[in-house]
A and B are shown apart, each in its own frame.
Chain A
């Protein structure tokens, strides 16, 4: 079973995302900011990361840049999931190594469509 790390400072969002991901057949793990997420990845690299942008400690963009410099940090498929919905943010995320991008609010259909596009589900 593939693992998806859900990185978001909102407990409610993490719970919603986890429920959707479990239906899609993922094992899930949670982190509340970039620092926690990095610790998680250094222990065990997940197959997928659903990543919020604005978080305390370390934001999503900074986390992604650091992740891609880690050994094996290129492996996880990273999908941003954020309220930032302008082209500048999206472009910046893609340049930093994001694979897909979800604009909040999201629902199960959107997550399923995006995970399919990212090649995580058939």
Chain B
């Protein structure tokens, strides 16, 4: 790809998703776009970019944006945030949300390993949840990722990254060389295509939002806007769980770190009072 072509693609991706692509990384851009070009019947990546320039075809543009924004993920990624969810967040919610449904959102979940990890925890902990009603949502920008997530089918490499073998045995069936999650776990998650750049107010409130390793792909202004939208979607005593290397500090004061919990944030009451 020429540097002009790469610039066209970078600008499209940024405008549609807020994701900033490193212009120095031509190789991964080409690797990810090659299947799109093939699928759409173009002879080369240059032809694909040319078609976008001329026709501005929305479906084609989204195919390109999606291919370049699918995030890396794995079951129980980084371990600790999931232990925190199980051992500290869930017991509090079970105690304080007796009257209403507990809502948990795994945002920018790529191919679904994160919401399914949460679903397996909820399944394991069911007896301790005192009959609490829980809704679990998974969302991503990419239709392709969501389709894969919804299928609940993973390859041998994917089920060996982060998933303890006993959970594989308990929750998966082997179909040829692939592994499929049980209908019980799959049915616990509801899927939706959500662009975090869009207005999120219609989604309502969530007690817990996992949004891990997406913010770090955004530019600073987008990061602030998305964080403030997520903060608004939380009740005063809600939780936001970010990637281990992501922070709200220096980005927005709508949230503040949960003491001693790396990557965990709570709404900042002072900011709420000022905004009210």
Contacts and interface: CB of A to CB of B under 8 A. Distances in A.
B partners with A: yes
B169 interface: yes
Contacts of A100: 164-165
A110 B168 contact: no
A116 B160 contact: no
Interface in A16-34: none
B169 A103 contact: no
Interface string A101-118: 111001001100110110
Contacts of A102: 160
A77 to B, nearest CB: 12
A116 B79 contact: yes
A101 B161 contact: no
Given A87-B174, A103-B156, A113 B161 contact: yes
B157 interface: yes
Nearest to B165: A101
Nearest to B168: A90
A10 interface: no
A94 B161 contact: no
B166 interface: yes
Contacts of B164: 100, 117
**Which of the four size classes fits the interface of chain B?**
10 to 19
A85 B169 contact: no
**Chain A, interface SS category:** helix
A90 B165 contact: yes
Contacts of A114: 160
A90 B169 contact: yes
B165 A110 contact: no
B224 to A, nearest CB: 33
Interface string B155-194: 0110011101110110001100000000000000000000
A91 interface: yes
B156 A87 contact: no
Given A94-B165, A94-B169, A100-B165, A113 B174 contact: no
A93 to B, nearest CB: 9
A114 B168 CA distance: 13
Nearest to B156: A103
Contacts of A110: 157, 160-161
A44 B193 CA distance: 55
A106 B159 CA distance: 12
B71 to A, nearest CB: 16
11 contacts: A85-B156, A87-B173, A87-B174, A94-B169, A100-B165, A102-B160, A106-B160, A110-B160, A113-B74, A113-B162, A116-B79
Given A94-B165, A113-B74, 6 more contacts: A86-B174, A90-B165, A100-B165, A102-B160, A103-B156, A113-B160
Task: Please list the 6 inter-chain residue pairs (A to B) with the smallest Cβ-Cβ separation, ordered nearest first.
Answer: A101-B165, A110-B160, A117-B164, A113-B161, A100-B165, A103-B156
